Structure 1
Amino acid sequence: MCADTGTAIPTVQIDNDRVRVTEWRFAKRGDNTGWHRHAFDYIVVPLFDGVLEIDLGNGERVTAPMQNGVPYFRELGVEHDVINGNDFECAFVEVELLEPKPG
Protein backbone atom coordinates (compact mmCIF):
# COMPACT_ATOMS: atom_id res chain seq x y z
CA MET A 1 0.00 0.00 0.00
CA CYS A 2 1.36 3.43 -0.90
CA ALA A 3 0.12 6.05 1.53
CA ASP A 4 0.31 9.80 2.01
CA THR A 5 1.50 10.63 5.49
CA GLY A 6 -1.20 10.01 8.07
CA THR A 7 -1.07 9.96 11.85
CA ALA A 8 -1.72 6.21 12.34
CA ILE A 9 1.41 4.14 13.01
CA PRO A 10 2.14 1.27 10.58
CA THR A 11 4.39 -1.55 11.81
CA VAL A 12 5.37 -4.08 9.17
CA GLN A 13 5.47 -7.50 10.81
CA ILE A 14 6.11 -9.74 7.77
CA ASP A 15 7.31 -8.72 4.30
CA ASN A 16 8.31 -11.40 1.80
CA ASP A 17 7.60 -12.38 -1.81
CA ARG A 18 4.08 -13.63 -1.00
CA VAL A 19 2.59 -11.39 1.71
CA ARG A 20 3.06 -8.15 3.61
CA VAL A 21 1.52 -8.02 7.10
CA THR A 22 1.20 -4.60 8.71
CA GLU A 23 -0.33 -3.58 12.03
CA TRP A 24 -1.98 -0.16 11.82
CA ARG A 25 -2.37 1.53 15.23
CA PHE A 26 -4.54 4.62 15.78
CA ALA A 27 -3.84 6.28 19.15
CA LYS A 28 -6.86 8.57 19.22
CA ARG A 29 -10.03 9.60 17.38
CA GLY A 30 -9.18 11.21 14.05
CA ASP A 31 -5.85 9.44 13.53
CA ASN A 32 -5.69 8.27 9.94
CA THR A 33 -3.72 6.18 7.45
CA GLY A 34 -3.45 8.95 4.88
CA TRP A 35 -4.96 8.82 1.39
CA HIS A 36 -3.79 5.70 -0.48
CA ARG A 37 -4.57 3.22 -3.25
CA HIS A 38 -4.19 -0.50 -2.67
CA ALA A 39 -1.90 -2.14 -5.25
CA PHE A 40 -2.78 -5.66 -4.04
CA ASP A 41 -5.79 -7.64 -2.82
CA TYR A 42 -5.84 -7.46 0.98
CA ILE A 43 -7.44 -8.73 4.17
CA VAL A 44 -8.03 -6.66 7.30
CA VAL A 45 -8.40 -8.21 10.77
CA PRO A 46 -9.70 -5.68 13.33
CA LEU A 47 -8.23 -5.89 16.84
CA PHE A 48 -11.15 -4.02 18.43
CA ASP A 49 -14.91 -3.62 18.50
CA GLY A 50 -15.94 -0.22 17.16
CA VAL A 51 -15.97 1.75 13.93
CA LEU A 52 -13.64 3.09 11.30
CA GLU A 53 -14.55 6.08 9.19
CA ILE A 54 -13.60 5.68 5.55
CA ASP A 55 -13.02 8.79 3.44
CA LEU A 56 -13.77 7.71 -0.14
CA GLY A 57 -12.92 11.08 -1.68
CA ASN A 58 -15.22 13.68 -3.24
CA GLY A 59 -16.54 14.50 0.24
CA GLU A 60 -17.98 11.01 0.75
CA ARG A 61 -17.31 9.42 4.16
CA VAL A 62 -18.81 6.16 5.42
CA THR A 63 -18.77 4.48 8.82
CA ALA A 64 -17.64 0.85 8.84
CA PRO A 65 -18.45 -1.24 11.92
CA MET A 66 -15.59 -3.49 13.09
CA GLN A 67 -15.72 -6.62 15.22
CA ASN A 68 -12.60 -7.88 16.97
CA GLY A 69 -11.09 -10.78 15.03
CA VAL A 70 -13.66 -10.77 12.18
CA PRO A 71 -11.73 -10.27 8.92
CA TYR A 72 -12.85 -8.71 5.67
CA PHE A 73 -11.40 -8.88 2.13
CA ARG A 74 -11.00 -6.17 -0.53
CA GLU A 75 -9.60 -6.32 -4.05
CA LEU A 76 -6.75 -4.17 -5.34
CA GLY A 77 -7.54 -0.67 -6.53
CA VAL A 78 -9.42 0.55 -3.44
CA GLU A 79 -8.64 4.22 -2.76
CA HIS A 80 -9.41 5.77 0.62
CA ASP A 81 -8.22 7.27 3.89
CA VAL A 82 -9.04 5.20 7.00
CA ILE A 83 -9.82 7.20 10.16
CA ASN A 84 -10.31 6.15 13.81
CA GLY A 85 -13.95 6.92 14.61
CA ASN A 86 -13.67 5.84 18.27
CA ASP A 87 -12.85 7.61 21.52
CA PHE A 88 -10.15 5.00 22.22
CA GLU A 89 -7.00 3.58 20.69
CA CYS A 90 -7.65 0.95 18.05
CA ALA A 91 -5.66 -1.20 15.63
CA PHE A 92 -6.03 -3.67 12.81
CA VAL A 93 -3.77 -6.10 10.98
CA GLU A 94 -3.64 -5.75 7.19
CA VAL A 95 -2.46 -8.70 5.08
CA GLU A 96 -1.56 -7.77 1.51
CA LEU A 97 -1.51 -10.66 -0.98
CA LEU A 98 1.53 -9.86 -3.12
CA GLU A 99 1.15 -12.79 -5.52
CA PRO A 100 -1.17 -12.37 -8.52
CA LYS A 101 -4.50 -14.17 -8.61
CA PRO A 102 -4.26 -17.66 -10.07
CA GLY A 103 -5.64 -18.34 -13.52
Structure 2
Amino acid sequence: MADDTFDPSAPLGPIGDEIIFENEYVRVWGLNLDPGDRQPWHRHDLPYIVIPLTDGDNEMHFSDGRRKPTQEKPGMALWREPGIPHELINRSGWTYRNILVEVKVPFAKAAP
Protein backbone atom coordinates (compact mmCIF):
# COMPACT_ATOMS: atom_id res chain seq x y z
CA MET A 1 0.00 0.00 0.00
CA ALA A 2 1.34 3.44 -0.92
CA ASP A 3 1.95 6.29 1.48
CA ASP A 4 -1.23 8.30 2.02
CA THR A 5 0.54 11.67 2.31
CA PHE A 6 -0.72 14.11 -0.30
CA ASP A 7 2.00 15.60 -2.52
CA PRO A 8 0.66 18.80 -4.17
CA SER A 9 3.43 18.67 -6.80
CA ALA A 10 2.45 15.17 -7.99
CA PRO A 11 -0.05 14.77 -10.84
CA LEU A 12 -3.56 13.73 -9.81
CA GLY A 13 -5.01 10.43 -10.97
CA PRO A 14 -8.25 9.70 -12.83
CA ILE A 15 -11.71 9.73 -11.24
CA GLY A 16 -12.22 6.02 -11.96
CA ASP A 17 -10.84 3.04 -13.87
CA GLU A 18 -12.60 3.74 -17.14
CA ILE A 19 -15.15 6.02 -18.75
CA ILE A 20 -18.05 3.79 -19.71
CA PHE A 21 -20.30 6.50 -21.20
CA GLU A 22 -20.01 10.18 -22.01
CA ASN A 23 -22.07 12.82 -23.77
CA GLU A 24 -22.51 16.58 -23.44
CA TYR A 25 -24.49 16.18 -20.18
CA VAL A 26 -22.72 13.48 -18.13
CA ARG A 27 -19.54 11.41 -17.87
CA VAL A 28 -19.96 7.94 -16.34
CA TRP A 29 -16.99 6.15 -14.72
CA GLY A 30 -16.61 2.58 -13.50
CA LEU A 31 -14.40 1.82 -10.50
CA ASN A 32 -13.13 -1.52 -9.12
CA LEU A 33 -11.01 -1.38 -5.99
CA ASP A 34 -9.54 -4.63 -4.63
CA PRO A 35 -9.27 -5.29 -0.87
CA GLY A 36 -6.63 -3.07 0.71
CA ASP A 37 -6.07 -1.06 -2.48
CA ARG A 38 -6.31 2.67 -2.78
CA GLN A 39 -7.61 4.79 -5.61
CA PRO A 40 -4.96 7.37 -6.54
CA TRP A 41 -5.24 10.96 -5.36
CA HIS A 42 -7.78 12.73 -7.56
CA ARG A 43 -10.11 15.74 -7.51
CA HIS A 44 -13.67 16.17 -8.69
CA ASP A 45 -14.18 19.41 -10.59
CA LEU A 46 -17.82 18.58 -11.30
CA PRO A 47 -20.71 17.56 -9.03
CA TYR A 48 -21.29 13.81 -9.13
CA ILE A 49 -23.37 10.86 -7.98
CA VAL A 50 -21.81 7.63 -6.66
CA ILE A 51 -23.86 4.44 -7.12
CA PRO A 52 -22.27 1.50 -5.24
CA LEU A 53 -22.56 -1.88 -6.97
CA THR A 54 -21.17 -3.75 -3.93
CA ASP A 55 -21.05 -3.14 -0.20
CA GLY A 56 -18.42 -0.53 0.59
CA ASP A 57 -16.27 -0.34 3.70
CA ASN A 58 -13.92 2.41 2.60
CA GLU A 59 -12.07 5.42 3.95
CA MET A 60 -11.55 8.73 2.19
CA HIS A 61 -8.31 10.64 2.89
CA PHE A 62 -8.42 14.34 2.00
CA SER A 63 -5.49 16.58 1.08
CA ASP A 64 -6.19 18.75 4.15
CA GLY A 65 -5.54 15.74 6.44
CA ARG A 66 -9.17 14.79 7.16
CA ARG A 67 -10.25 11.14 7.01
CA LYS A 68 -13.82 9.97 6.53
CA PRO A 69 -14.99 6.35 6.75
CA THR A 70 -17.76 5.43 4.32
CA GLN A 71 -20.29 2.60 4.52
CA GLU A 72 -22.18 1.96 1.30
CA LYS A 73 -24.79 -0.51 0.12
CA PRO A 74 -25.57 -1.56 -3.46
CA GLY A 75 -28.17 0.65 -5.09
CA MET A 76 -27.60 3.69 -2.90
CA ALA A 77 -27.17 7.03 -4.68
CA LEU A 78 -24.77 9.48 -3.00
CA TRP A 79 -24.63 13.12 -4.15
CA ARG A 80 -21.24 14.82 -3.85
CA GLU A 81 -20.09 18.34 -4.66
CA PRO A 82 -16.72 19.12 -6.28
CA GLY A 83 -13.96 19.43 -3.73
CA ILE A 84 -10.35 19.08 -2.73
CA PRO A 85 -8.08 16.20 -3.73
CA HIS A 86 -8.69 12.89 -1.98
CA GLU A 87 -7.99 9.17 -2.25
CA LEU A 88 -10.21 6.19 -1.44
CA ILE A 89 -8.98 3.12 0.45
CA ASN A 90 -10.88 -0.17 0.40
CA ARG A 91 -10.79 -1.44 4.01
CA SER A 92 -12.89 -4.53 3.27
CA GLY A 93 -12.04 -8.10 2.34
CA TRP A 94 -13.85 -7.88 -1.00
CA THR A 95 -13.60 -5.91 -4.24
CA TYR A 96 -15.51 -2.63 -4.03
CA ARG A 97 -17.25 -1.53 -7.24
CA ASN A 98 -19.18 1.59 -8.10
CA ILE A 99 -20.52 3.72 -10.92
CA LEU A 100 -19.80 7.44 -10.69
CA VAL A 101 -21.78 9.94 -12.77
CA GLU A 102 -20.29 13.41 -13.24
CA VAL A 103 -22.81 16.12 -14.10
CA LYS A 104 -21.32 18.32 -16.86
CA VAL A 105 -24.23 20.73 -17.39
CA PRO A 106 -24.73 23.60 -14.94
CA PHE A 107 -28.05 23.64 -13.18
CA ALA A 108 -29.93 26.18 -11.07
CA LYS A 109 -30.06 25.50 -7.34
CA ALA A 110 -33.53 25.54 -5.83
CA ALA A 111 -34.43 28.47 -3.59
CA PRO A 112 -34.38 27.63 0.15
TM-score, scaled relative to structure 2? 0.76
Q: Distance in 2 between matches of 1:78 and 1:94?
A: 17
Instruction: Determine helix, strand or coil for the equivalent of 1:77.
Output: coil
Q: Distance in 2 between matches of 1:41 and 1:47?
A: 20
- Residues 73-84 of structure 1 aligned to structure 2 (within 5 Å): 73-84=79-90
Contact 2:63 2:84 in 1 (8 A): no
Identical columns (%):
30
- Runs (4+) of structure 1 exceeding 6 A deviation are none
Residue 14 of structure 1 aligns to which amino acid in structure 2?
A: F
Equivalent pairs, count: 99
Report what 1:17 is aligned to: 24
Q: Distance in 2 between matches of 1:57 and 1:48?
A: 26
C-alpha offsets along residues 56-87 of structure 1, whole Å, 9 cap, x if unaligned? 13433221111111110011224311111111
In the alignment, is residue 54 of structure 1 matched against residue 64 of structure 2?
no
Q: Which structure has the highest strand share of the two? A: 1
Contact 2:12 2:43 in 1 (8 A): no
Q: Which moved more, 1:34-43 or 1:75-84?
A: 75-84
Where do 5+ consecutive residues of structure 2 fail to align? 1-10
Q: CA RMSD in A?
A: 2.2
Residue 28 of structure 2 aligns to which amino acid in structure 1?
A: V
Where do 5+ consecutive residues of structure 1 fail to align? none
> Which of 1 and 2 has greater Rg?
2
Residue 99 of structure 1 aligns to which amino acid in structure 2?
A: V
Instruction: Determine helix, strand or coil for the equivalent of 2:62.
Output: strand
2:39 aligned residue (13, 33, 47): 33
Report what 2:105 is aligned to: 99
Q: CA deviation at 1:11?
A: 1.8
